[in-house]
Structure 1
Amino acid sequence: MTTRTHHIKHMSWTAFETRKQATQLAILPAGAMEGYGPHLPLGADTLVATRLAELVAARTGGLIGPVLEAGDSSMLAEFPGTIAIRPESFKQYVSDVVESLLKWGFTDLLVINGHAGNVPMYSQLAYALRERGGIRMAQIDVWRFIKTVDEGILESGALAHSHAGEAGTSVLLAVCPELVDLTRTMDVKRAQPDLYPEIMKYGKLSDNSKWGTMGNSTIASAQKGEQLVARAVDRILHFLRDHWSIADKGGQHEQ
């Protein structure tokens, strides 16, 4: 199957009507358009979320709703090309998308969100939907999620999962290698040590990195990225099977 097979946007309304009869699962990829180092594309978060959605859809028969290309990237707003969506606008747009999906009979909503700045809005929406009953919603916070499946893969320690670092670059090399500029990778340390990591702070990424990246992306590899993606997809499939009774159909691998 091709990567377009499960995207609603690539279906006619009649094809959608037929496909919808076989599933209650809508997968919603979301990301950001922001500075992600000089070596990675501005849409890195969205590209990764979309690819994970395609891989999960291929194994479950779920359908992929609108891809949210940009989110709340105010932390990186000074980097050229960054698009920052106000939380209020983002939440209202997502709410309208969800209401449309519910109208057409979806009851299981899986958000695959590649950008941490979007997490609170999805959580708020999920709690509101919970009160209505009969709707299940879950969110995969992609880069935090990948931290839980990285055992034995990454090498750069505490900064392995930093912005556009070893993990992020490896996954992009697996997902869209043609958009990664390996001549621009670098090893970036924080300009200022974080003496209170347990406290949420609201500065700008540029306070610690003028490049919009952190950590050592020079040791990233496609092989590492492929392992991280495979483990992430398997974990998501286990959740869908164990908690939502959605079977892994297997064998329907994307190309």
Structure 2
Amino acid sequence: MSVKTNFLKEMSWKMFEDKKKETDLVLIPSGAFEVYGPHLPLGSDTLVSVKIAELVAERVNAIIGPTLEVGDSAMLDVFPGTITIQPESFKAYLTDALRSLRKWGFKDFLFINTHLGNVPIIGQIAHNIQRENEVRCAQIDYWRFIKSLDKGIIESGDLAHAHASEAGTSVLMYLYPHLVDTEKWVNEPPKSNDQFSDFIQYNNYDKSTTSGTIGNATLGTKEKGEALVNRSVDRIVQFLLQKWHIKEKNSVIS
């Protein structure tokens, strides 16, 4: 029985050789291990980035590379279970992974990232590798990315996209319903309205939330999550087809 997979880690070296002939594109998921409300798993960011990469790879010729499961979550480490990686460590690890991928001929790198703390680090690496090699890089800051795609879906305004709120809860309800505990979800607005919100400040996350949620998670639904995921995947595929001219698969893998 032949194995069908888009994940590099699931391929034999012979499978990889054959698959690599079809594409120069590698998708690199990255996320975090941190508090994501009392109702969602600590690995929510990572779980979502991997699944979005999988859905994209089902529609275009791409290989899913190594997942960077843990990011810089220092400001959230007052909550139990949070794991954080120093930015220097994250940067070194990802740089080495990209060098290996570049060695095997990849020229297009799309980072599917669901953790805000990873954004500037990935950006630095992307600029560096593009300067040193003839490659293309792009990054999706997923939770900010879906803000532009939520028309007619979300109900709670800007707070819908706050931490573990309506949008994030909905996406997890669609992608990983068995990991969502709706008996524990909450509606928690920010602890205070900061009159100096235009300043970047460096407070621990417990200054903003008691539960790890900011916003109304109880408005989350599977249907909203499905709509947000479908729109986001469509938009990513549109970029790859129209901007990078990546080949679309003839059929979607079920």
After TM superposition, list the pairs within 5 Å mapping 1:205-216 onto structure 2. Answer: 205-216=205-216
- Asked if the contact 2:171/2:226 (under 8 Å) is kept, the reply is yes
Distance of 2:204 and 2:164 partners within structure 1: 15
Paired amino acid for 2:242 = D
Which residue of structure 2 aligns with residue 110 of structure 1?
A: 110
- Asked if the contact 1:6/1:57 (under 8 Å) is kept, the reply is yes
Paired amino acid for 2:201 = K
- Asked if the contact 2:61/2:247 (under 8 Å) is kept, the reply is no
Structure 1 residue 171 and structure 2 residue 171: aligned?
A: yes
Distance of 2:185 and 2:121 partners within structure 1: 32
Distance of 1:172 and 1:195 partners within structure 2: 32
Cα offset for 1:249?
2.5
Aligned structure 1 segments of 4 or more residues deviating by more than 3 angstroms: none
Which residue of structure 1 aligns with residue 236 of structure 2?
A: 236
Which residue of structure 1 aligns with residue 198 of structure 2?
A: 198
Distance of 2:60 and 2:197 partners within structure 1: 38
Residues 211-235 of structure 1: CA deviation (Å, up to 9, x unaligned): 1111001010000000000000011
Distance of 2:214 and 2:228 partners within structure 1: 19
Question: What secondary structure is seen at the aligned counterpart in 2 of 1:148?
Answer: helix
Structure 1 residue 6 and structure 2 residue 1: aligned?
A: no
Distance of 2:251 and 2:217 partners within structure 1: 33
Question: What secondary structure is seen at the aligned counterpart in 2 of 1:245?
Answer: coil
- Asked if the contact 1:55/1:253 (under 8 Å) is kept, the reply is no
Residues 18-38 of structure 1: CA deviation (Å, up to 9, x unaligned): 111110000000000001111
Which residue of structure 2 aligns with residue 40 of structure 1?
A: 40
Q: Give TM-score scaled by structure 1 length.
A: 0.96
Which residue of structure 2 aligns with residue 120 of structure 1?
A: 120
Distance of 2:196 and 2:173 partners within structure 1: 32
Distance of 1:197 and 1:54 partners within structure 2: 36
Paired amino acid for 1:80 = P
- Asked if the contact 2:71/2:90 (under 8 Å) is kept, the reply is yes
Which residue of structure 2 aligns with residue 65 of structure 1?
A: 65
What root-mean-square deviation, in Å, do the aligned CA atoms of Structure 1 and Structure 2 show? 1.3
Distance of 1:28 and 1:68 partners within structure 2: 8
Paired amino acid for 1:143 = W
Could you tell me which runs of 5 or more consecutive residues in structure 1 were left unpaired when the two chains were aligned.
none
Identify which range, 197-206 or 13-22, moves more after superposition: 197-206
After TM superposition, list the pairs within 5 Å mapping 1:89-108 onto structure 2. Answer: 89-108=89-108
Paired amino acid for 1:102 = R
Which residue of structure 1 aligns with residue 129 of structure 2?
A: 129
Cα offset for 1:4?
7.1
Distance of 1:163 and 1:253 partners within structure 2: 32
Cα offset for 1:130?
1.9
Residues 61-84 of structure 1: CA deviation (Å, up to 9, x unaligned): 200011111000011011111110
Cα offset for 1:192?
1.1
Distance of 1:193 and 1:43 partners within structure 2: 28
Identify which range, 145-154 or 191-200, moves more after superposition: 191-200
Question: What secondary structure is seen at the aligned counterpart in 1 of 2:161?
Answer: coil
Question: What secondary structure is seen at the aligned counterpart in 2 of 1:60?
Answer: coil
Distance of 2:125 and 2:72 partners within structure 1: 16
Distance of 1:161 and 1:240 partners within structure 2: 25
Identity %: 50
Question: What secondary structure is seen at the aligned counterpart in 2 of 1:120?
Answer: helix
Residues 199-252 of structure 1: CA deviation (Å, up to 9, x unaligned): 222111110111111100101000000000000001111111121111333631
Cα offset for 1:133?
3.9
Aligned length, in residue pairs: 252
With over 3 angstroms needed to count, the CA separation of the structure-2 counterparts of 1:29 and 1:6, relative to structure 1, is same
Question: What secondary structure is seen at the aligned counterpart in 2 of 1:182?
Answer: coil
Q: Give TM-score scaled by structure 2 length.
A: 0.96
After TM superposition, list the pairs within 5 Å mapping 1:239-254 onto structure 2. Answer: 239-249=239-249, 251-254=251-254
